[in-house]
Structure 1
């Protein structure tokens, strides 16, 4: 009887211990979730700073290996080279770009007005407006204008965050090993080796992804620009830069660029809008289905379904910046899964 009593006592204590552990894990998970929610504006800035630091350091290391200069000098040379490249580009194409962007800013509202007029004049459009939706398009355009105004107002905040990211990236790029060692020392001793392996592999994967994205952005801009220029679409240089920048966002970026190109060309005729969509779509197709898969075969490739899922998740968590940073974040999470969950080495 005494043994049975002791056995039951131990079982109750074991149950209470497991219950306390489960409860503690639940509380910690909730607290971490609340912390992530409160830091929803801060985390993308931190991750973007890390990506910028990786790109900066990678370019500087290339200079070190090629010209045998010091790391500090190479970082300074990369920064000066970027500033010089931007300055030369603005000097050569600045006035033309400004004129074309002004044209884009005028053509998009004109195209929206044309579409609105067509919908209101078409019998089906009047039927939907009267019996189904009952929308006053002039009133419906007001929230859009409000959102555009809010976006323009956020430009100043974005510039401030960009400046902070550059300053933070400079510190990280100047001493990457010191920051990595500090991050490793923050982990429990039994996880330090895997953390060091994860950080090393994540850095390599991010460098591969950045190089691939550089090709993607450049190819989209070049292909779209050549097609728009050949078809005589207005503002080809501005639309090419927009198409290249949006190519940074997989799948959705190319679709947004295609819509913008069609809207800009629509006031100049439906055929011109079709040619603009054809030029941007063809450039995106050549890049996305013929060139990029070949390049991805030599670097880390994330399945398209996983990538789309994480893009939706990061968009819900962090908004527009989440969409932009979803791919590199997925790359890092993939490396973390390989190192911590399914390690390939004992």
Structure 2
């Protein structure tokens, strides 16, 4: 048996060595991103299934099925009620933002400094529509990745013990218990982080939609949705979300743009000083500098798409280091996410 396993390992190593290095690197990056996405899908399903297990006394399998149905119904209902309006508002936001960007480019062309700035930009102009057109070029590959991610997440959520045990078997027998505990700790950390992000996304999206509606900007639903979704990217997301809102406001005049800037600054001050500390104190706290540096590193490794997964990847590495290095290797006491609640 050992000989057969050794021969198989040798043949596998030879096959890997024959694969071109750029393709191997691309495949590993793709696999890791899909894996992280699948873990997030599994955590989302488990979060949605917990009320059915706790309050309805259903089995885990049946609770997961109900959770999946509820998530699909929520998405379908939201699409039916707001899909047409949201799509129309997003198109309006895109059109207005692109118009404002072109106006800014024309104004910059009138000064020497502005022309120097524009000379460093592709084509010498801003175009929001061009950016979206470039994004849609990878839509087929993105759809493929989403299908693989969701399917893998469903399988992991339905049989977590199987995949935990299978991963632990890749390590020596003496380390398997520690590996399984670490996987459980990482899963708990991701689940708590995802819950915290969902709370922040809902609050910021709602606050932003109300704020731009009070200011009188068009398409408040779309701008609120953009702000809520951008919250998934820590620190950089709010900046990204404010750009289309400010561009849309500029098409309505100076004062709407000024009030929009003030509103977004106030919202994100509330977020940074009230919402985030309150959520992180109860769920998962990662030092801001660590998270910012990880965003830079992950984006450098995985490209622009990696910024979406920078935070969950940081949670995984952060929990693993605290568990395996600080606690297991150094023997120091350190708190892991959810231990007090558990």
The partner residue of 1:192 within 176, 185, 210 is 176
Q: CA deviation at 1:128?
A: 5.2
For residues 169 and 127 of structure 1, the distance between their equivalents in structure 2, rounded to whole angstroms, comes to 50
Contact 2:108 2:118 in 1 (8 A): no
For residues 39 and 89 of structure 2, the distance between their equivalents in structure 1, rounded to whole angstroms, comes to 34
Alignment of 1:1-346 (within 5 A): 36=25, 38-121=27-110, 125-126=111-112, 129=115, 135=119, 139-141=123-125, 147-343=131-327
For residues 272 and 142 of structure 1, the distance between their equivalents in structure 2, rounded to whole angstroms, comes to 22
For residues 214 and 294 of structure 1, the distance between their equivalents in structure 2, rounded to whole angstroms, comes to 14
Q: Which moved more, 1:200-209 or 1:184-193?
A: 184-193
| Structure with the larger helix share | 1
For residues 137 and 44 of structure 1, the distance between their equivalents in structure 2, rounded to whole angstroms, comes to 30
TM-score for both structures, normalised by structure 2 = 0.84
Gap runs ≥5 in structure 2: 1-16, 333-342
Structure number, greater radius of gyration: 1
Number of residue pairs the alignment of both structures matches: 312
Local SS of the residue matching 1:248: coil
Q: How big is the alpha-carbon RMSD for the aligned residues of Structure 1 and Structure 2?
A: 2.6
Gap runs ≥5 in structure 1: 1-27
Change (3 A) 1:127 1:247: closer
Local SS of the residue matching 2:218: coil
Q: Which moved more, 1:252-261 or 1:151-160?
A: 151-160
| 2:3 alignment counterpart | none
Local SS of the residue matching 2:109: helix
TM-score for both structures, normalised by structure 1 = 0.83
Q: CA deviation at 1:51?
A: 1.4
Q: Which moved more, 1:33-42 or 1:294-303?
A: 33-42
Q: 1:87-143 CA distances to partner (integer Å, 9 max, x unpaired)? A: 22222222221221111121111001110121123xxx24653xx568398932389
Q: CA deviation at 1:251?
A: 0.6
Q: CA deviation at 1:190?
A: 2.5
Change (3 A) 1:171 1:308: same
Q: CA deviation at 1:331?
A: 1.3
Local SS of the residue matching 1:297: helix
Q: 1:128-175 CA distances to partner (integer Å, 9 max, x unpaired)? A: 53xx56839893238986654321111232122111111111111111
